[in-house]
Amino acid sequence: MTQLIAVAKVLEIPPGGMKVVEVESFRIALCHVEGTIYAIEDVCTHDDGPLGEGTLRGGQVECPRHGARFDVKTGKAVRMPAIVPVRTFPVKVENGEIFVEMVSGVEP
pLDDT tens digits for 35-61? 999 999 999 999 999 999 999 999 999
The answer to whether residue 47 is domain-embedded is: yes
Question: Residue 80 CB: number of other CB atoms within 10 A?
Answer: 11
The answer to whether residue 50 is domain-embedded is: yes
* Residue pair 87/103 in contact by the 8 Å Cβ criterion: no
What is the average per-residue pLDDT within 90-98? 98
Res 98: pLDDT: 98
Q: Is the pLDDT of residue 105 over 70?
A: no
* Residue pair 3/89 in contact by the 8 Å Cβ criterion: no
The answer to whether residue 108 is domain-embedded is: no
The answer to whether residue 106 is domain-embedded is: no
Distance of CA 88 to the CA centre of its chain: 6
Please state the domain count of the chain: 1
First to last CA, the chain: 14
Structural domain that includes position 23: 2-99
CATH number at residue 43: 2.102.10.10
Phi, psi of 53 (to 5 degrees): -95, 0
DSSP letters, 33-94, are ETTEEEEEES--TTT---GGGSEEETTEEE-TTT--EEETTT--EEETT--SPPPEE-EEEE
